[in-house]
Amino acid sequence: MNIKLPKDVIYILQQLENGGFSAYVVGGCVRDALLGKAPQDWDICTSALPQQVINTFSDYRVIKTGIKHGTVTLMLNDSMYEITTFRTETGFSDNRRPDTVEFVADIKEDLSRRDFTINAMAYNPKQGLIDLFGGLADLDMHIIRTVGNADVRFNEDALRILRALRFSAKLCFNIEESTAASVHRNKSLLNNIAVERIFAEFKQLLLSENAVNVLREYQDVISVFIPEISPMVGFCQHNSYHCYDVWEHTLHALSYAGNNIIVRLAVLFHDIGKPHSFTLDQQGVGHFYGHCVKSAEITENVLKRLRCDTKTTNTVVTLVKNHDRIISANNKSVKKTALYLGSEEMTKLLITVKKCDAYGQSPELFRQRLEELNKIEDILNSLIAHNKVLFSVKELKINGNDLINMGVKDGRIIGAILNSLLKSVNDENIDNTYNSLVKSAKKKLEKNL
């Protein structure tokens, strides 16, 4: 079986072999190449010790990125290549990193320490594919399986539990039965992993093609680091708008969320506060008064706990808080929403989230909502195309300095005038031109706003 390697990779392998060492491309690049995908990175493993690698490429820049664990990074023709010495690992006392690393000369020992069979294959042009654990067969069967005993693999590095879910979501592969059982059995080990690493894996999972099915099947695993989703599972909504429980509604909505992490996170969390806001009226109809605010509160707590960046957190929380905001299909209502949200991007994101929410509702009822949202989107796009909507005071043809030059010194008054002008422009009472805005500002000053 042949894998087409880039010229630089062939050169690296040849240089190491010319020095008397064995060398292979290994891991994810081999997996992706066998799947017909273009590898993003080409990782190389070798029998050469780190210093021997450095000596082999003495004419090039070599960075000692992880030399303690046998990894250096070679800079070659503006690209970076990780080169790692064959090694074995023992004593994972923190369920993440090996206590000791020992360099070895046999690639079999190196491959046997890896996580999944599909990631434990190596290749070089002379020897072909090195597949000691059935990785190729598992690729053909679309299976995620650990190398050796799953409990051992997950206790060595608990992040592999989430990696198994992420590979299943990304590749649309099933997790092999005994490996899946071990995932459920060892899920609590994720408590030993840094939240930043968990969130990085989770975001990749969430953006993957098969994310919804993985979230459904492994909800108990996700609940280890987002326990707030557990009350959603099986929570009946008792409402004609919904034929699914809160969790299933969320998953159905998520399946329409596209490839935007902001939208995906907002849809995942948009109803997370519903179980805490539920009331049942005398007719047996369920209501969730205030659930948007509660959902936003929970969302903010979750994202901060997972060390999500501030901009993403604030954007997602705003979308969750406003996902039930009433928008009518007319210019005035759309402009009001745009002005409230403060940007074209946020307004479009909210419409997208509302569409996903509609898709997750009862099939008999969602079409009307979807039609209304499409009209709203069309109105917004038309307003933008014809410069008929402003999103913030920054878009006015007048600014605070202009008002200062008019003699206004109080910052609060300047802010009030600009906001009033912005509303007047969006209400189409005045034009967004300098002269028109100055004239209107003077009138407002004369009337003390």
- Domains in the chain: boundaries: 7-141, 149-221, 228-385, 393-446
Q: Quote the pLDDT of residue 201.
A: 97
Q: How far apart are CA 286 and CA 1, in angstroms?
A: 60
Angle at 419 between CA 414 and CA 423, to 5 degrees: 150
Mean pLDDT, rounded, for 232-238: 93
199 neighbors 159 (Cβ within 8 angstroms): no
The overall average pLDDT reported for the chain is 94
pTM, two decimals, is 0.91
**Residue 361 tokens, joined:** 């509702």
CATH class assigned to 228-385:
mainly alpha
Q: Quote the pLDDT of residue 407.
A: 87
Specify the CATH number of the domain 149-221.
1.10.110.30
**Residue 89 tokens, joined:** 């690992």
**Residue 444 tokens, joined:** 């407002």
Q: Quote the pLDDT of residue 363.
A: 80
Q: What percent of the chain has pLDDT over 70?
A: 98
Long-range CB contacts (within 8 A, 24+) of 177-186: 178/150, 179/144, 179/145, 179/146, 179/150, 181/150, 182/146, 182/150, 182/151, 182/154, 183/150, 183/154, 183/218, 183/221, 184/218, 184/220, 184/221, 185/151, 186/151, 186/154, 186/155, 186/158, 186/161
Residue 319 pLDDT more than 80?
yes
Mean pLDDT, rounded, for 162-189: 98
Q: What sign has the CA pseudo-torsion 303, 305, 309, 314?
A: positive
pLDDT one-digit tens code per residue, 94-129: 676 767 788 899 999 999 999 999 999 999 999 999
Residue 449 pLDDT more than 60?
no
pLDDT one-digit tens code per residue, 378-431: 999 999 999 899 999 999 999 999 999 988 888 888 999 999 999 899 988 899
238 neighbors 286 (Cβ within 8 angstroms): yes
Spatial CA neighbour of 335 closest among 429, 263, 270:
429
Q: Quote the pLDDT of residue 111.
A: 96
Q: Which residues contact 195 (CB under 8 A, 6 or more apart)?
A: 225, 305, 306, 307
Q: How far apart are CA 3 and CA 17, in angstroms?
A: 18
Mean pLDDT, rounded, for 134-148: 97
Residue 78 pLDDT more than 60?
yes
Q: Quote the pLDDT of residue 165.
A: 98
Spatial CA neighbour of 323 closest among 230, 250, 386:
250
- pLDDT confidence band for 91 (50 / 70 / 90): low
- Of the segments 69-78, 162-171, 277-286, which one has the largest average pLDDT value? 162-171
Domain 7-141, architecture per CATH: 2-Layer Sandwich (3.30)
pLDDT one-digit tens code per residue, 321-380: 999 999 999 999 999 999 999 999 999 999 999 999 999 988 878 888 999 999 999 999
Q: Quote the pLDDT of residue 69.
A: 86
Which stretches of 268-317 are assigned E, i.e. beta strand?
A: 279-280, 286-287
Q: Quote the pLDDT of residue 351.
A: 98
Q: Quote the pLDDT of residue 71.
A: 94
- pLDDT confidence band for 212 (50 / 70 / 90): very high
Q: Quote the pLDDT of residue 66.
A: 87
